[in-house]
Amino acid sequence: MGPGSSSAYGGTENVLDALARGLQAAGHDVTLCTVGESTCPVTKVSVFKQAIGIGAGNSVDEIRHVIHSYRALQEFDIVHDHTLVGPLYSAAFPHLRW
């Protein structure tokens, strides 16, 4: 696990934590769309206070997260998206690269 990552993080969360930290350390402005309990030390936005849990969420939860996140990121140049719905929704934001 990367520095500061939690043993409660899964594989995707650990990769994104390391990616966000690394991009910030390289001088990029980073905003991580995550849950409120995230421990990653970058700017964060969230719609959920806590992780829903594997198998507990549904597509409506993911859509809600994606819509909230893309609205928060409208001024960004690049979005690195790890959701299933995000690439489809991103068509509404043609200026974004991902």
Q: What confidence score (pLDDT) does residue 8 get? A: 57
Q: Which of 10-14, 42-46, 50-54 has the lowest mean pLDDT?
A: 50-54
Q: What confidence score (pLDDT) does residue 55 get? A: 60
Q: Predicted confidence band at 2 (pLDDT cuts at 50, 70, 90)?
A: very low
The angle at the Cα of 56, spanning 87 to 21, to the nearest 5 degrees, equals: 55
Distance CA 30, CA 54 (A): 26
